[in-house]
């Protein structure tokens, strides 16, 4: 299902569980749930706050692969919920393909 967000890139709505980690975290991962995905990034919700510009590794349970990304924004939704926008280091191939991240279609 495509979403119009006012952006130039098509975004696909998702509700997949993923994990975020700092590259130097020695395996400590923070769970998150995706809200939408585009070729170049995604928006997710997590209980951990992240700093814009911070480098992270995105892990999907299905593949276990770690995809490098950069935090674009972190918006506090409530006391323990944050919306985080990530820019993927390598854009997804068009058309929007969550398969590369190991996410269900």
Mind spelling out the 3-state secondary structure of 8-43?
A: CCCEEECCCEEEEECCCCCCCCEEEEEEEECCCEEE
Within 10 Å of residue 40's Cβ, how many Cβ atoms? 18
What is the pTM (predicted TM-score) of this model?
0.75
Q: Which domain holds residue 18?
A: 2-101
- Residue 84 sits in a domain of what CATH number? 2.40.10.220
Domain total of the chain: 1
The pLDDT profile of the chain, 105 residues, written as one tens digit per residue, is 444 444 455 555 568 889 999 998 887 899 999 999 888 899 999 999 999 999 999 988 777 788 899 999 999 999 999 999 999 987 654 434 454 555 554
Q: Output DSSP code: residue 81.
A: E
């Amino acid at each position: 299902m495509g979403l119009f967000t006012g952006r130039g890139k098509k975004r696909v709505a998702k509700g997949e569980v993923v994990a975020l980690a700092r590259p130097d975290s020695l395996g400590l991962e923070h769970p998150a749930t995706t809200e939408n995905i585009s070729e170049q990034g995604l928006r997710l919700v997590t209980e951990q706050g992240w700093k814009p510009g911070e480098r992270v590794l995105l892990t999907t349970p299905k593949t276990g692969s770690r995809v490098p990304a950069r935090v674009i924004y972190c918006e506090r939704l409530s006391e323990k919920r944050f919306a985080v926008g990530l820019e993927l280091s390598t854009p997804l191939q068009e058309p929007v393909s969550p398969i590369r991240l190991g996410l269900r279609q």
